[in-house]
């Protein structure tokens, strides 16, 4: 749209208090055609900031306006479709327009002093990824190593391979001279004819593909398929066809760690240019991927949640894999759900949106049940392998040795002796979650947060898992002076230690944030596990997601009982998803898997339902309960959170809000109540929970309240946020 005959333009800036600002176009720049979506540089509070021209305007000429300084682009940087989408997002989440727009743009483009994108070198194999002969012909052992590593993990920059070969860069150059590698300027695979042939689809897969192909306008689909039922194959088949027709697809995954796997599946099978996009890439790589998707030079992007904002020329499908995963929700700043935005964007672009999961979120389950989403089911594993058997082990009737029962230890030993792998899953790092006095009951607590401190043995210190502050161990109890201070409960570190003690000569790999800190360490750990060496892994949820470990046959899940006592109404939903996802790791290739759950509540109806009948029955039952109490997905929810170093400030903030909010009979307001962890990092946190049956009516209330807060009449010493469709109450 043309705005050039006007003297002013409206722009958005990354600021919270105004949606748009008006600037003057000075005479010196008036010969340039300014279009919506272009970037300009404007003066703002003594700074020069990048701003985005928004839409046409009709603001009257006003000589107090400031002038723009420079026009960066000659064509719209953000396409019209993106502007429309971002505007809708801003309306839905009630976030300042500028924050929404600037969240959607790669960091590189937000800095007015950044030059043109510098060169980066990414290496990938020139030949088909399955060419084994080349490896055997390479004389240099170092080159073999690099070649094989790229075969599995490429494209990569040489610095991501220095952990396997220090001279990676030189080896890449040498292989390039031998005409075995390709260079590219970003992490993407060049289009080449697919190496691997297609499977013959199962009946369920075929039906899913046909149904979606028959209706390529906007339609949300729930691809509800048990682990190992071949959901990925359905994605690939659909995307393959689209790419052959010259169209683009966006594939979202919950975590960076899952991008390489899916990226390679697509790259192997599709005759197109496939690229990854996530926050683990360099700013330059992200910027380049974004630009190439926008210009149509990339066909498929495999991305984490922020990828939902990528502009495309010809987007034809959005896929959200593991749609139930909480990582799709941004949990600070601008709190959006990439899954929900996928549906919103699909509607705007009039294209299908495919949500896949073995354990659909209750939201999607409910939508499928009410025929808002088309429900596609894959009910069999492609290899006809049975799902793993799940046993419940009552820890009250078994003697525990560092957190594991004798029986479990024996089972682990057996699997290892057969050459298999076992996994002990526990969502708690450190040695033990509590240190307390046996005489008076004193417990070591964080100074800054309302939590107990976790004991970490390898540093022989206590650590707060909320603020990460470290404390030394008191010699005497600060409460009564006794020396009987002991640790209580188990964490990954303790289980690891116990396994090393009880299973001599067995390899134990611990995977948590204390042992795996960098992307390279993570890659090395995953490489080792996937190589299939017999071992026991002890890990937190880092290990629970979509990774395929072919040799894993036994999964032990420890300490799930907290969920039954949680204040969060979604706790058991998350537990059921976790249990099924973790157990889905077992027995994938040709081996049958087994799962053992250690619990103190074996008779809980949760286990009867989930294990006796399965996820679908559990979800139906849970849905009825939500309906009975009037909670999501049977209602719509939002939370306003606020925190301050001063308790009174937080209280006053909420009191003020309540005083000024207009009555709305369709919305119930709970609170203000203290957050589950009231004091965190020295700040007091409170929240106000809104629950209502009508989305629009709830929205109206929230709009009125946030407008009031943003009008600036309240105390500035407060940090507040609005969370629409929260996924937890903490
Ligand atoms: P899911 O994502 O549903 O857990 P996957 O897509 O990982 O399942 O598929 C499980 C395995 O089945 C993979 O190894 C995949 O290559 C294989 N597979 C998929 N579809 C078929 C098919 N139609 N015939 C044979 N094997 C298949
Ligand atoms: Zn703390």
pLDDT of residue 712: 76
CA of 581 to the centre of ligand 1 (A): 16
Report in angstroms the alpha-carbon separations of 401 from 407, 411, 490, 657.
10, 14, 11, 53
pLDDT (tens digit, 9 = 90+) per residue, 648-700?
A: 999 999 999 999 888 889 999 998 999 988 988 889 999 999 999 999 999 99
The arithmetic mean of pLDDT across residues 229-246, rounded, is: 95
Provide the sign of the torsion angle of the four alpha carbons 129, 253, 313, 37, taken in this order: negative
726/183: higher pLDDT: 726
pLDDT (tens digit, 9 = 90+) per residue, 65-116?
A: 889 999 999 899 999 999 999 999 999 999 999 999 999 999 999 887 777 7
Separation of alpha carbons 429 and 494, rounded Å: 9
Give yes or no on whether 203-378 and 389-431+490-623 have one common fold. yes
Q: What's the CATH architecture for 636-724?
A: 2-Layer Sandwich (3.30)
Classify residue 218 by its DSSP letter.
Answer: S
The overall average pLDDT reported for the chain is: 88
The arithmetic mean of pLDDT across residues 132-138, rounded, is: 76
Mutate to test the pocket of ligand 1, among 232, 235, 268, 356 (most ligand atoms within 8 A of CB): 232
Separation of alpha carbons 692 and 682, rounded Å: 33
- For ligand 1, atom 18: residue with the closest CA: 230
pLDDT above 70 covers a percentage of the chain that reads 95
pLDDT of residue 191: 66
- Domain borders along the chain are 8-110, 122-184, 203-378, 389-431+490-623, 636-724
Torsion of CA 288, 292, 294, 295, to 10 degrees: 140
Report in angstroms the alpha-carbon separations of 109 from 102, 186, 202, 298, 516.
9, 17, 45, 19, 32
Which residues lie below 8 Å from residue 661, measured CB to CB, with a gap of 6+?
669, 701, 704, 705, 708
Flag whether pLDDT at 223 surpasses 70: yes
Separation of alpha carbons 525 and 163, rounded Å: 12
Phi, psi of 182 (to 5 degrees): -110, 150
Whether 701 contacts 695, CB under 8 Å: no
CA of 129 to the centre of ligand 1 (A): 20
- For ligand 1, atom 5: residue with the closest CA: 230
pLDDT (tens digit, 9 = 90+) per residue, 252-303?
A: 999 888 888 888 888 888 888 899 999 888 888 899 999 999 999 999 999 9
Flag whether pLDDT at 2 surpasses 50: no
- As given in the structure block, the two tokens for residue 50 are 């990048």
pLDDT (tens digit, 9 = 90+) per residue, 481-510?
A: 898 999 988 999 999 999 998 888 889 999
Query: Assign residue 193 a region: left if phi > 0, alpha if psi is -120 to 50, beta otherwise?
Result: beta
Closest CA to 540 of 455, 427, 423: 427
Q: In ligand 1, which atom is closest to the CA atom of 265?
A: 16
Question: Which own/partner pairs from 520-527 qualify as long-range (CB within 8 Å, at least 24 positions apart)?
Answer: 520/160, 520/163, 522/257, 523/153, 523/160, 523/163, 524/163, 526/257
pLDDT of residue 3: 44
The arithmetic mean of pLDDT across residues 377-397, rounded, is: 85
Separation of alpha carbons 372 and 688, rounded Å: 30
Mutate to test the pocket of ligand 1, among 195, 196, 229, 230 (most ligand atoms within 8 A of CB): 230
Separation of alpha carbons 663 and 591, rounded Å: 60
Which residues lie below 8 Å from residue 38, measured CB to CB, with a gap of 6+?
52, 53, 71, 72, 73, 74, 75, 76, 77
For 248-314, give the DSSP string.
EEEEE-S-GGGHHHHHHHHHHH-SS-EEEE-TTS-HHHHHHHHHHHHTT--SEEEE-GGGGG---SS
- As given in the structure block, the two tokens for residue 463 are 């650590």
Q: Which CATH number is associated with domain 8-110? A: 3.40.1440.60
The arithmetic mean of pLDDT across residues 556-580, rounded, is: 86
Q: Is the CB of 204 under 6 A from ligand 1?
A: no
Q: Is the CB of 229 under 6 A from ligand 1?
A: yes
The arithmetic mean of pLDDT across residues 704-723, rounded, is: 86
Edge-first strand listing for the sheet containing 683-692: 667-680, 683-692, 636-644, 719-724
540/623: higher pLDDT: 623
Flag whether pLDDT at 1 surpasses 50: no
Per-residue pLDDT band for 131 (boundaries 50, 70, 90) equals low
Pick the CATH number of 203-378 from 3.40.50.300, 3.40.50.2300, 1.10.230.10, 3.30.1330.30: 3.40.50.300
pLDDT of residue 686: 95
Mutate to test the pocket of ligand 1, among 382, 582, 590 (most ligand atoms within 8 A of CB): 382
CA of 682 to the centre of ligand 2 (A): 8
pLDDT (tens digit, 9 = 90+) per residue, 587-609?
A: 666 677 888 999 988 888 888 88
Which residues lie below 8 Å from residue 652, measured CB to CB, with a gap of 6+?
715
The arithmetic mean of pLDDT across residues 507-515, rounded, is: 89
Flag whether pLDDT at 715 surpasses 70: no
Whether 423 contacts 556, CB under 8 Å: yes
CA of 259 to the centre of ligand 1 (A): 17
- For ligand 1, atom 20: residue with the closest CA: 230
What pTM, to 2 d.p., does this model score? 0.90
Q: What's the CATH architecture for 389-431+490-623?
A: 3-Layer(aba) Sandwich (3.40)
**Given the DSSP bridges, would you call strands 667-680 and 683-692 parallel, antiparallel or unpaired?**
antiparallel
Flag whether pLDDT at 121 surpasses 70: yes
Separation of alpha carbons 560 and 575, rounded Å: 7
Closest CA to 309 of 109, 41, 55, 34: 109
pLDDT of residue 593: 83
Classify residue 608 by its DSSP letter.
Answer: H
CA of 234 to the centre of ligand 1 (A): 9
């Amino acid at each position: 749209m043309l705005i050039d005959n006007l003297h002013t333009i409206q722009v958005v800036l990354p600021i919270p208090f105004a949606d748009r600002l008006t600037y003057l176009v000075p005479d010196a720049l008036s010969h340039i055609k300014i279009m919506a979506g272009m970037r300009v540089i404007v003066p703002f509070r003594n700074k020069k900031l990048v701003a985005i021209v928004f839409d046409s305007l009709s603001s009257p000429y006003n000589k107090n306006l400031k002038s723009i300084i420079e026009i960066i682009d000659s064509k719209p940087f953000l396409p019209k479709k993106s502007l429309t989408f971002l505007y809708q997002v801003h309306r839905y989440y009630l976030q300042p327009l500028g924050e929404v727009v600037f969240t959607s743009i790669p960091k590189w483009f937000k800095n007015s002093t950044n030059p043109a994108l510098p060169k980066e070198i990414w290496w990938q194999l020139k030949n088909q990824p399955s060419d084994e002969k080349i490896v055997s012909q390479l004389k240099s052992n170092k080159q073999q190593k690099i070649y094989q590593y790229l075969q599995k993990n490429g494209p990569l920059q040489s610095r991501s391979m220095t952990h396997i070969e220090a001279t990676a860069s030189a080896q890449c150059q040498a292989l390039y001279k031998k005409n075995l590698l390709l260079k590219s300027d970003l992490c993407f695979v060049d289009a080449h004819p697919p190496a691997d042939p297609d499977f013959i689809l199962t009946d369920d897969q075929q039906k899913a593909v046909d149904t979606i192909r028959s209706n390529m306008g906007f339609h949300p689909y729930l691809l509800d398929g048990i682990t190992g039922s071949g959901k990925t194959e359905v994605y690939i088949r659909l995307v393959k066809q689209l790419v052959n027709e010259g169209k683009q697809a966006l594939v979202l995954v919950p975590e960076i760690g899952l991008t390489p796997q899916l990226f390679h599946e697509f790259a192997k099978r599709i005759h197109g240019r496939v690229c990854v996009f996530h926050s683990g890439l360099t700013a330059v790589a992200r910027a380049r991927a974004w630009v190439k998707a926008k210009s149509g030079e990339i066909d498929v992007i495999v991305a984490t949640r922020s990828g939902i904002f990528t502009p495309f020329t010809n987007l034809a499908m959005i896929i959200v894999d593991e749609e139930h995963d909480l990582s799709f929700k941004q949990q600070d700043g601008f709190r959006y759900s990439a899954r929900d935005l996928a549906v919103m964007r699909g509607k705007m672009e009039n294209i299908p949106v495919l949500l896949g999961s073995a354990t659909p979120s209750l939201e999607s389950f409910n939508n499928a049940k009410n025929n808002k989403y088309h429900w596609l089911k894959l009910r069999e594993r492609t290899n006809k392998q049975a799902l793993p058997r799940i046993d419940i082990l009552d820890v009250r009737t078994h003697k525990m040795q560092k957190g594991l029962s004798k029986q479990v230890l024996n089972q682990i030993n057996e699997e290892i002796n057969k050459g298999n792998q076992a996994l002990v899953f526990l969502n708690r790092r450190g040695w033990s979650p509590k240190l307390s006095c046996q005489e008076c009951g004193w417990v070591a607590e964080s100074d800054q947060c309302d939590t107990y401190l976790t004991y970490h043995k390898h540093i022989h210190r206590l650590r707060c898992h909320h603020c990460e502050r470290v404390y030394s161990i008191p010699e005497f109890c600060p409460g009564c002076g006794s020396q009987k201070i002991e640790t209580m409960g188990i964490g990954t570190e303790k289980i690891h230690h116990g396994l090393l003690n009880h299973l001599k000569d067995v390899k134990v790999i611990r995977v948590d944030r204390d042992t795996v800190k960098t992307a390279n360490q993570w890659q090395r750990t995953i490489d080792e596990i996937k190589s299939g060496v017999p071992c026991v892994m002890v890990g937190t949820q880092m290990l629970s997601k979509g990774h395929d470990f072919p040799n894993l046959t036994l999964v032990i899940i420890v300490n799930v009982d907290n969920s039954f006592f949680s204040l969060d109404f979604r706790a058991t939903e998350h537990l059921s998803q976790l249990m099924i996802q973790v157990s889905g790791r077992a027995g994938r290739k040709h081996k049958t898997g087994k799962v053992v759950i250690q619990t103190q509540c074996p008779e809980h109806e949760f286990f009867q339902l989930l294990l006796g009948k399965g996820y679908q029955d559990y979800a139906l039952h849970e849905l009825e309960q939500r309906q009975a109490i009037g909670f999501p997905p049977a209602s719509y929810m939002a939370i306003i959170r606020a925190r301050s170093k001063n308790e009174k400030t937080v209280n006053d903030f909420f009191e003020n809000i309540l005083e000024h909010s207009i009555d709305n009979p369709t919305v119930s307001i709970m609170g203000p109540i203290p957050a589950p962890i009231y004091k965190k990092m020295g700040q007091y946190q409170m929240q106000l929970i809104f629950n209502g049956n009508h989305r629009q009516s709830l929205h109206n209330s929230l709009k009125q309240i946030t407008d009031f807060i943003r009008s600036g009449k309240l105390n500035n010493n407060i940090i507040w946020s609005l969370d629409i469709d929260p996924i937890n109450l903490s």
